[in-house]
Amino acid sequence: MTTHQARLRNALYRYRPLAGSGAAETVWAAVAVLLAPDPDAVLLIHRAERSGDPWSGHFGLPGGRRDPGDLDLDETARRETREEIGLDLDPAAQLGLLDDVWPRSAAAVPIIVRPFVYSLDQRPPLRTSAEVAEAFWVPLDVLADPANYREARVRLQGREQDFPGYHLPQGLVWGLTERILTALLGLR
């Protein structure tokens, strides 16, 4: 574990994440925030274009909706990571949780996403599924660079709106993923 990952583990140990509460129709989901060294980086995925998927083509974190067979949301994050990028996460590698996030738009899917942060000793080989167009590591210093974080105009629900986002060579990271990454960087 790098010095940065150890500091983050300590910060997450003390941190009390905000938990969402939803109505009966709320869908619960979980994502894995995967950190690895050389240099310290987070793994992002580019979701494949899929009909009916509200996050089709977006950049995000490995994860998805809770299945009825999942014991808890941590199991959801680990199962989805295995399915999407072929990586089995050791539960002992979990550093902690970030705040639950949900869409700010009233017309969006009623979903609450719980981010689980994991520390990896190295960048493992990945096997992306058909759900993932690509997976790539982004150094935390790149995300923390103010030149890469600014407003972006996004077409959402038929109209143009401005959102904060990370402008990376691979594309724009905005929405729930931007909020998760910004919270992570706030703990550095």
45-82 pLDDT, tens digit per residue, is 999 987 766 667 889 999 999 999 999 999 999 999 99
Number of domains in the chain: 1
109-146 pLDDT, tens digit per residue, is 788 999 999 999 999 999 999 999 999 999 999 999 99
Tell me the whole-structure pTM to 2 decimals.
Answer: 0.92
Residue 54, both tokens: 């509200």
Give the per-residue pLDDT at 54.
63
CATH number of the domain that 151 lies in? 3.90.79.10
Judge contact between 110 and 26, C-beta under 8 A: yes
154-166 pLDDT, tens digit per residue, is 887 678 889 999 9
- Domain extent, residue 147, equals 3-186
Q: In Å, what is the CA distance from 77 to each residue of 66, 93, 112, 152?
A: 8, 13, 13, 28
